[in-house]
Amino acid sequence: MTNEEKAGVETALRAAQARCGAPVVCVLARASANYEAPPLIWSAVVALAAPWPLLFFTDLSAERIFIAQLAIFLVALGLLSLPGLRLRLTPGAVRRAHAHRAALEQFVIRGVTHCAERNGVLIYVSLAERYARIVADDGAARAIGQNEWRAIVDRLTGDMKTGATAKALIGAATGCGDLLARHFPAREAAAPVSQRFHML
């Protein structure tokens, strides 16, 4: 995203908060986790399987087989640790679980809960997992149905698929502001939020 696009998202978030008096924060992450375990596991599996054909079909000594096994492990680990492969080796359910947990962590870290009416909202997008979620505090979650939040997420993910990241985030911020304004009209200033748009 360009600096101009970032500024556009921040402006949309500020406008959304001004209309409803509730904190509206957005986090855009490259990935929700490092996924270091799958390359280690698969490299170990390959290395453990490697000695058997060497034992049956060659006359190599145990020492040379061990060295070959270690080399195979290191090469496999290097290849499987490439970002694209590392992500593909991780099951989809695990990726979603990491993204879900990261969204909840960011909800707390970014201070979205510091509003008396408990109506703050976090828009969380993780690019690597192709994951988007709106986390609403208790007051906002009670007032606004899940299907209404889902409609905003569906539009957000649809725009993201076309590569229009800034447009997608601006639309989500505007949609959240519209929803919150219907149930929480701006009567008092929302809890102060120093920065509303974060890129990780």
Q: How far apart are CA 124 and CA 153, in angstroms?
A: 10
pLDDT at 101: 92
pLDDT at 195: 65
Nearest alpha carbon to residue 173 among 124, 110, 130:
124
Please determine, for residue 51, whether its predicted confidence score (pLDDT) is greater than 60. Answer: yes
pLDDT at 122: 92
Task: Compute the average pLDDT of residues 160-183.
Answer: 89
Q: How far apart are CA 103 and CA 132, in angstroms?
A: 9
pLDDT at 192: 52
CATH topology of domain 3-33+91-199: Diaminopimelate Epimerase; Chain A, domain 1 (3.10.310)
Q: How confident is the model at residue 172 (pLDDT cuts 50, 70, 90)?
A: very high
| pTM for this entry | 0.79
Q: Where are the domain boundaries for CATH 3.10.310.50 in the chain?
A: 3-33+91-199
Q: How far apart are CA 103 and CA 85, in angstroms?
A: 23
pLDDT tens for 66-82 read 888 899 999 988 888 88
Burial of 40 (0-12, 13-18, 19+ CB in 10 A): middle
